[in-house]
Amino acid sequence: MNKYILILIITISCNQKEYKPSNEYKIQAQVWTQNSAEYRALCYQAFNTARLNLDSFLSSGKKYNKPLAIITDVDETVLDNSPYDGKLILNNTSYNRESWVDWGNMVIAESIPGSLEFLKYASEKGIEIFYVSNRYSEQHKATVNNLKKLGFPDSKEENVLLRDKSRSKSERRKSVSDKYEVIMLIGDNLSDFNDEFEVKIFEERINYTNQMRDNFGTKLIVLPNPNYGDWESNGLFGGESFDNIEKDSIRKSNIKSY
């Protein structure tokens, strides 16, 4: 555990009864995601960039022994789950498996701006689309149905790969790359892209991102998501488990000022 975080936990432990953090800290990010034209613009920018790079790749004339594929994440990459997060905020409750599965079973998530148009375009160019998500296995049917309802290409059962025992996507990505040449990966979390991002914590994530800078906007397409993700769990919290009061303190301690 990071020594600085440990000091913070000790410092706030005596004040736990006096302060009860809520979901207030999520409101600004949620309102921005659901209401700002800037959020939509960033999504369109990501998928416009993906299309330009796909066109460039296809026009290069490079030949492969395997068919071409794109791997994309699902949540906050092609499906918008902000109403679920909105419900958590308004009810001042936390994410839990039961409510998350219930939301998915409603099959009412809308598409992320630009996602449907791009994946349809890629499919028309002969690219196979695979949806690799950490949704639970019991959500498979509902996820397929939601993707089909919106018209996403290749939204068939065998192309939607959800987690079973492990959160790691490496084996599922490998199952695709064994049969296909994966030319692009799309996601809102860096762990959607490779094994290294799944295990790196704290500053390691920043340093590795700097090393990978030339891959972003080319083979790796990142969607904005300020609401949740590995940037917080593996970044701020270093993969450790904390209660809400400790998390609140850690968030505030990571604000840069002068």
CB 190 within 8 A of CB 196: no
- In the chain, % of residues over pLDDT 90: 86
More confident residue, 102 or 11: 102
Is 9 a residue whose pLDDT tops 70? no
CATH match of 3-253 with 3.40.50.1000: yes
Handedness of CA 224, 229, 235, 237 (dihedral sign): positive
The domain segmentation of the chain, as residue ranges, is: 3-253
The pairing of strands 220-222 and 79-80 is unpaired
Q: Give the tens place of pLDDT for each residue, 136-188.
A: 999 999 999 999 999 999 999 999 999 988 889 999 999 999 999 999 999 99
Whole-model pTM: value is 0.91
**Amino acid letter at 170?**
S
Pairing of strands 220-222, 181-187: parallel
Tens of pLDDT along 20-46? 668 999 999 999 999 999 999 999 999
CB atoms within 10 A of CB 146: 24
Structure confidence by residue, pLDDT tens digits, 202-233:
899 999 999 999 999 999 999 999 999 999 99
Q: Average pLDDT for residues 45-57, to the nearest whole number?
A: 97
Of all helices (H) and strands (E), which one includes residue 221? strand 220-222
